[in-house]
Structure 1
Amino acid sequence: MANLRFSALTTAQNRQAIPVAPPAERIADYYGIYTFNKETMRTLLSADAYKRITEAIDNNARIDRDIADEVANAMRSWALSKGATHYTHWFQPLTGSTAEKHDSFFDLASDGKAIEKFKGSALVQQEPDASSFPSGGLRNTFEARGYTGWDPSSPAFLMDNGAGGKTLCIPSVFISYTGEALDYKTPLLKSLAALDKAATAVCQYFDRNIDKVIPTLGVEQEYFLVDKALYVARPDLVMAGRTVFGHQPARGQQLEDHYFGSIPPRVNAFMVDFEFEALKLGIPVRTRHNEVAPGQFEVAPTFEEVNLAIDHNALLMDLMDKVAEKHSFKVLFHEKPFAGINGSGKHNNWALATDTGINLLAPSSKPKETLRFITFVVNVVKAVHDHADLLRASIASAGNEYRLGANEAPPAIMSIFLGETLTKALEDLDNKSEIALNKGDNVYYKLGLNRVPALIRDNTDRNRTSPFAFTGNKFEFRAVGGGANSASTMIVLNTIVANQLVQFRKDLEAQLEQFDKKELAVVEVLKQYYRASKRILFEGNGYSNDWVAEAEKRGLSNIRSTPEALNVYTQPDSLALFERMGIMNHAEVEARYEIELEKYIKNVQIESRVMGDLAINHVVSTALKYMNQLTSTAKSLVDLDMVNEAQPVKGIIRELSSRVVTIKKNVEAMIDARKRANNVPDTTEMARLYATEVKEYFDVIRYEVDKLELLIDDEDWPLVKYRELLFVK
């Protein structure tokens, strides 16, 4: 029987790029054609219905059932005209992926005649079986009823089924029969409303024309591509999403030649294809490039309103998976699919925009606007400082645990980079009670190359080692994992900033009683905030050991394990915060804590099982066969009176035997540790045991297996190697 690895390699190496044709000459001709957006609604709805639905979208107005009926009729007609046969409420349960239950537009009338039907009641509400989705103890498994509810602020869209016909997907919230949120969207929408209210109230001190603040988000998505045949030949990738074994190739990313390099033809064809499909769905993808690690790439969209950006990112990941199948690729979103090289993040670029077209995080040369800008920046800094551990909890997962603190990822220590210019402005504010933030004229580089147009120098650098960095007109939260739902992080960030802005108003009102001028009162409050939170600011190398020591001196947390990080959710301050801001009640927060712990346990458990299976049934069995071959060789050499020549062979046999014994011993110990953990009734304690007693065997087993990869004949090694997974495209 041929080695599966070499069979997969032959298949992968013989593939060719699939030609991809654009849907039309101009993007404008097909952008959003599969979305039931405002433009489509304007043409299909009555003027009154359109006005009322846009009021609901823009200003959170209530949608009456009669309007829902009209929208449903228009949506049905539009979907059928595009080839749709089914509809579904598309939602984001706490599994970490999206969910959908398709219902046909087809129905039978009382006379048995076939009709196409879609009422407003079906648009507004559906009932998926909630018992099979995680609830964290909010519901018993035998209590199945749950509801999905239409979110009109995120346009419905059409998803190609891939086998003829399309499905109308309606973005929705998901709640239990008793009303608790069982999804990401419900608390996200509440956090956005809370932040809008709090930020607008603060804006009123500076500009009475501002009536609404819209948090915006741009999600940069990193991912790996692996040929499908190579992927299938690696059970660990299939089961766990990452490689539990694999020796470093001679060439990895050390030459730094992959970043922004020429995109391989097959990969480029895949990118072009999924971008066409994304643009049809109204996902504004703009950027594609090679990332630092071989086999790693990135896609980035234009900024959007946060809720829509998160829906689009979840949809994009699903779309990439489907298009990858067409091109015989598998997309890896795991935070650390390969040891020793860069993992994948989901960089969340977050800002605050007003209904008057102002970015509240954009510097200005006008004094009044500058004070407003500094006000929002300092309040964000104060919010992150006061709730750094909660922000850390929002990015905690089994996958991100491998990535945080590695060379390419921000450390688990939450810190903020503001840049030299902004930091100096805050120091001047603290020391002189004035804001010396002068944008000034553009500064140009003098390159001595006349034919090259003048290049403008930004007034602040970028720091890729900072988990939460100011990048000129937004904050970039770089520590979010590549496979995560960004809603988890945005719920926390929106909530803590909203809470801080509410507190700012209280503190400002108290200061206004002591100062004649409002500006002086604002400056005084900001000075107090800056002094109380400046320890979280760090401009240096966040990857260095010096920063770890410095952070400890400053009293900043360095929470390394996922169970420890998640525990922050259940602390009294966290529970009170979410309830006070109207985002989640205690039961909902505690349920999410339980769900995240269970996901962590299951992920580590799967990795442990895959590791044991591969180690014993693939690696050890191969090593024993190879030892048998070497034993025959050594015996033949001795029989030929070539004793000296047989010694190196015997040495290899001894090393193989020693490593096999170590692997078997540690796999058995790992299984015993897993059994002990599984018998613990308390989820918190079970997660702790998986994080400490089960995972402690991972590196030991991996070390021995990776050494065997170097010892055993390449033609006998059963697992696709890193050099093949990363470089065969």
Structure 2
Amino acid sequence: MMEREPVPWKKGPRLCRDRGRFLVENPSLSPKFQRLEVLVMREIQQKTASVPELFGSMVFNDQVMKARLPKETYRALKKTIENGKSLDPSVANVVANAMKDWAVEKGATHYTHWFQPMTDITAEKHDSFICPQGDGTVIMEFSGKELVKGEPDASSFPSGGLRATFEARGYTAWDPSSYAFIKENTLCIPTVFYSYGGEALDRKTPLLRSMEAINKQALRILKLFGADDVTRVNTTVGPEQEYFLIDRELYDQREDLIMCCRTLFGAKPPKGQELEDHYFGAIKPRVAAYMADLNQELWKLGVLAKTEHNEVAPSQHELAPIFSNTNVATDHNQLTMEIMKKVAKRHGLACLLHEKPFDGVNGSGKHNNWSISTNTGVNLLEPGDSPAENAQFLLFLTAVIKAVDEYQDLLRISVASPGNDHRLGANEAPPAIISMFLGDELTEILEAIENSTDYSQKDKTEMKVGVHILPRFPKDTTDRNRTSPFAFTGNKFEFRMLGSKSSISGPNIVLNTIVAEELSQFADVLEKAGDFNAALNDLIRTTIREHKRIIFNGNNYSDEWVAEAERRGLLNLKSTVDALPYYISEKNQALFTKHKIYTATEIHSRYEILLENYCKTISIEALTMLDMVNKDIFPAVCRYMDALSATVLHKAGVSSVISSKAEEARLKKLSALCDQLYQANEALGEAMRKVPCGCDVKAQADYYKDTVIDLMQRLRTPADELETLTGKTYWPYPTYSQMLFSV
């Protein structure tokens, strides 16, 4: 029997609290809809009365460090954070003790080295602060050694052959550039993760290396422009996160959602997104309550959650943060995805982060807004009032153009996953072909530079909408292209191909590294030039001429663009398996090893991990389909046919003149579809028994791509049609109509 705590209210039905959820006792409402939205919003308003006080309250940030650390210790730690200097052990001990005292005051009892292995989630092993005393009591202690270094098992995480089962030793090392935080009474210390031999086993180590690489090369360029006051260049990211929310009770009834995070079966509902009424529509109270609660949790952890809205598909939404340094943004996005799921559970919801959880409506992506900034506050991708005369901007712009053109394969690989294969190119996301959108003004500037012609600066005109009461405002000099994979959007690039559940570390490792490489080549040329301005002009002009093929401002969804891209020599790597071999090409290995992002061994290990993940994902999905058909769908349809057959017999027993044509026709159709279902099920089962064993993982991946996926679709087709013909009380799973429109 549930325990209820009465909550006072002025008028209306009696309110109660049930396990943290708010309900309304009102006999006119069904139990499913007895959650009290009004009270939730009232409590949220009380909580958000002081957001500045709440923000970062669970983070050991600069303000806390400054208040709790001795001045010398604080300065030493800041030097470590800003300049990458090593931390003296004595300083680490002082920091650890202050961190522990702060955490205990906040209710923490444990600490963990929080790291990001080669999965799409984070990892943590909790240790308590307790230290036994001789008299049978304990005290709370935390040493500098425990802060700086940990030792988790390295053989049980994806390693691509770097670690065998008997080679278990691995290390975590504190990353002081990302603040420690408290999550569920545990002090979380952001760390990197590496093997006994020193190989990176995580996503963060190469990300930090890539940030160092672009910092080093960008400083070389800025020095040539006389920017001697700049001592650090960082890349910044603002990742927009898309997701679905469905009712938890419905989620728990779907084996495919539980096992695979996406629906493997499901007939198209009568209504989808065709009315375009969900995008930016009014947010429903239950979703608004979830979003408000999510903001509270994220703000406590210093996550700059800023924008929230309904997305295109029904039950789809988006959260976007303010920009932050790339490593911090990566940590925060991992936290965001984790907390999204936990908060959803509290609200009786399930948060789906898969790239394509429902067929027939838009999938979910993650737009990676990437830019380059100096420690003096200058955005190096800011065109200024006259981009045609901003040589420094043009040089950085052409470096990005050259990087995207030469390393389009790596950018495609950085977003490759089995889930994203369902989404890319489906008129809901950019195609698998990499191209850049610059807009009319920048394109015309580059054309003028290439052709050595004058460019006439376009003045901004006022927008006139024909209503006098509305204010006029300057019209942008270029439109936005939502079909482009890599679009310039004012002072940043929006890389729009990322899948919603993937870590943003991979794409940003690639972006940082490939731009660092081009800046390195530019610096090599310009540092040797006798006439800097002449060399600069020639370098920009030559780069534009040689790499303009990557620029496309049109409709990336069109068939004409596919043909045009092929004519230009651009890659069209349609699937993960098609893309991954480029990872270990000689060109790409040379890039990563030159800038010390990966060793050759680390590159091959990641290639193996990505292929293994592809194979395992498709295998789990195929086996889940077989399980659902054998245990639920086929028996359910048989029961329905049995009921129809009984009706036919009963009618015939009453009178021979009573027609049973409808039942017989339905039976005939169901029986034919059941035969198709059975044959497709047998074919998929046989294919899964024939998966190549004892061969290289690439051959397995090819088999899954070329054979298994096609058979999975063949099995789904009759199953989905059977759903439309089977009585509602017989069908074993919640339908798309129920899941997409129940929240």
Question: Which one of 271, 274, 290 corresponds to residue 254 of structure 1?
Answer: 274
Give CA deviations for 1:402-438 in whole Å, capped at 9, x if unaligned.
111112111011111000111011001101166x384
Between 211-220 and 20-29, the greater mean CA deviation after superposition: 20-29
**Structure 1 equivalent of residue 565 of structure 2:** 551
Does 1:178 find its partner at 2:192? no
CA distance in 1: counterparts of 2:65 and 2:616, whole angstroms: 44
Greater relative CO, 1 or 2 (CA 8 Å, sep 6+): 1
Superposition deviation, residue 474 in structure 1: 0.3
Give CA deviations for 1:531-579 in whole Å, capped at 9, x if unaligned.
1111111111111112111111111111111122122111111111111
Amino acid at match of 1:723: S
Change (3 A) 1:702 1:24: closer
Does 1:116 find its partner at 2:140? yes
Give CA deviations for 1:322-379 in whole Å, capped at 9, x if unaligned.
1111111111000000001111101000000111211111111357971111111111
Change (3 A) 1:49 1:549: same
1:330-729 equivalences under 5 Å are: 330-365=350-385, 370-432=390-452, 436=455, 438=457, 440=459, 442-509=460-527, 512-513=529-530, 516=531, 518-639=532-653, 645-729=659-743
**Structure 2 equivalent of residue 328 of structure 1:** 348
CA distance in 2: counterparts of 1:535 and 1:204, whole angstroms: 30
Amino acid at match of 2:382: A
1:23 aligned counterpart, secondary structure: helix
Amino acid at match of 1:188: L
Superposition deviation, residue 506 in structure 1: 2.1
Change (3 A) 1:211 1:368: farther
Change (3 A) 1:537 1:707: same
Change (3 A) 1:373 1:644: farther
The answer to whether the Cα contact below 8 Å between 2:388 and 2:445 also exists between their aligned partners in 1 is no
The answer to whether the Cα contact below 8 Å between 1:469 and 1:476 also exists between their aligned partners in 2 is yes
CA distance in 1: counterparts of 2:656 and 2:33, whole angstroms: 42
Give CA deviations for 1:138-168 in whole Å, capped at 9, x if unaligned.
01111111000000000000002xxxxx110
Superposition deviation, residue 673 in structure 1: 1.4
CA distance in 1: counterparts of 2:344 and 2:509, whole angstroms: 31
Superposition deviation, residue 77 in structure 1: 0.8
Superposition deviation, residue 320 in structure 1: 1.3
1:666 aligned counterpart, secondary structure: helix
2:690 aligned counterpart, secondary structure: helix
Does 1:310 find its partner at 2:330? yes
The answer to whether the Cα contact below 8 Å between 2:692 and 2:699 also exists between their aligned partners in 1 is no
CA distance in 2: counterparts of 1:629 and 1:366, whole angstroms: 76
- In structure 2, the gaps of 5 or more residues are 1-28
Amino acid at match of 1:485: S
Superposition deviation, residue 79 in structure 1: 0.5
Amino acid at match of 2:463: Y
CA distance in 2: counterparts of 1:652 and 1:264, whole angstroms: 39
Superposition deviation, residue 667 in structure 1: 1.6
Superposition deviation, residue 509 in structure 1: 4.2
User: TM-score normalised to the size of structure 2?
Assistant: 0.93
Q: Which runs of 4+ in 1 moved over 6 A?
A: none
Amino acid at match of 1:227: D
CA distance in 2: counterparts of 1:12 and 1:484, whole angstroms: 33
The answer to whether the Cα contact below 8 Å between 1:365 and 1:437 also exists between their aligned partners in 2 is no
Superposition deviation, residue 401 in structure 1: 0.8
1:235-314 equivalences under 5 Å are: 235-314=255-334
CA distance in 2: counterparts of 1:205 and 1:428, whole angstroms: 24
Between 674-683 and 379-388, the greater mean CA deviation after superposition: 674-683
The answer to whether the Cα contact below 8 Å between 1:680 and 1:686 also exists between their aligned partners in 2 is no
The answer to whether the Cα contact below 8 Å between 1:365 and 1:439 also exists between their aligned partners in 2 is no
Change (3 A) 1:640 1:307: same
CA distance in 1: counterparts of 2:518 and 2:178, whole angstroms: 28
Superposition deviation, residue 15 in structure 1: 4.0
Superposition deviation, residue 98 in structure 1: 0.3
Amino acid at match of 1:216: T
Does 1:154 find its partner at 2:178? yes
Change (3 A) 1:214 1:600: same
CA distance in 1: counterparts of 2:333 and 2:448, whole angstroms: 40
2:317 aligned counterpart, secondary structure: strand
Between 14-23 and 695-704, the greater mean CA deviation after superposition: 14-23
Amino acid at match of 1:617: K
Change (3 A) 1:211 1:700: same
CA distance in 2: counterparts of 1:433 and 1:469, whole angstroms: 25
Amino acid at match of 2:492: K
Give CA deviations for 1:412-466 in whole Å, capped at 9, x if unaligned.
11111000111011001101166x38474x4221122222122332111111111
CA distance in 1: counterparts of 2:193 and 2:226, whole angstroms: 37
CA distance in 2: counterparts of 1:462 and 1:697, whole angstroms: 39
2:562 aligned counterpart, secondary structure: helix
Superposition deviation, residue 649 in structure 1: 2.5
Change (3 A) 1:373 1:653: same
Change (3 A) 1:433 1:198: farther
Superposition deviation, residue 602 in structure 1: 1.1
CA distance in 2: counterparts of 1:370 and 1:414, whole angstroms: 27
2:660 aligned counterpart, secondary structure: helix
2:189 aligned counterpart, secondary structure: strand
CA distance in 1: counterparts of 2:563 and 2:388, whole angstroms: 40
CA distance in 2: counterparts of 1:378 and 1:602, whole angstroms: 40
Superposition deviation, residue 497 in structure 1: 0.7
Does 1:188 find its partner at 2:207? yes
When the two chains are superposed, the root-mean-square deviation of aligned CA atoms in Å is 1.7
Amino acid at match of 1:296: Q
CA distance in 1: counterparts of 2:102 and 2:355, whole angstroms: 39
| Matched positions, count | 710
**Structure 1 equivalent of residue 9 of structure 2:** none
CA distance in 1: counterparts of 2:60 and 2:108, whole angstroms: 13
CA distance in 2: counterparts of 1:311 and 1:143, whole angstroms: 28
Between 617-626 and 421-430, the greater mean CA deviation after superposition: 617-626
Superposition deviation, residue 652 in structure 1: 1.8
2:422 aligned counterpart, secondary structure: helix
CA distance in 1: counterparts of 2:207 and 2:569, whole angstroms: 31
2:676 aligned counterpart, secondary structure: helix
Superposition deviation, residue 620 in structure 1: 1.1
Change (3 A) 1:433 1:580: farther
Amino acid at match of 2:206: P
CA distance in 2: counterparts of 1:233 and 1:14, whole angstroms: 21
Change (3 A) 1:616 1:16: farther
CA distance in 1: counterparts of 2:351 and 2:340, whole angstroms: 7
Superposition deviation, residue 16 in structure 1: 4.1
1:23-42 equivalences under 5 Å are: 23-42=47-66
CA distance in 1: counterparts of 2:671 and 2:631, whole angstroms: 16
Superposition deviation, residue 65 in structure 1: 1.0
- In structure 1, the gaps of 5 or more residues are 1-8, 161-165
User: TM-score normalised to the size of structure 1?
Assistant: 0.95
Amino acid at match of 1:96: D
2:172 aligned counterpart, secondary structure: strand
CA distance in 1: counterparts of 2:421 and 2:656, whole angstroms: 52
CA distance in 2: counterparts of 1:316 and 1:491, whole angstroms: 20
